[in-house]
Amino acid sequence: MRTHHDGWRTWQGHLLGPLGLGGRTGVWACANLGVLVAPALAFLGTLLTGRGRVSAQEAREPGPVTDTKGC
């Protein structure tokens, strides 16, 4: 429910115009694109920042294998 007190939402949709998606009054204004963009950015961020740790883990010598009968 939107009321006149929703002044904190004025930032929403500020990228729709520069991206050519019709601005705040266009068809894409209510599309919730952030729901798709946020997980994509999180995935890319994890992929880019975790490369060093994965490489270090892969470079280590494998340790002794423990008994896995309890699994």
User: What would the pLDDT profile of 21-46 be if each residue is shown by its tens digit?
Assistant: 888 888 888 888 888 889 999 999 99
pTM to 2 decimal places? 0.54
Helix (H) or strand (E) holding 55: helix 51-59
Closest by CA to 2, choosing from 63, 31, 12, is 12
Mean pLDDT is highest, among 2-11, 16-25, 45-54, 58-67, for: 45-54
How far apart CA 66 and CA 63 sit, in angstroms, is 9
Residue type for position 52: G
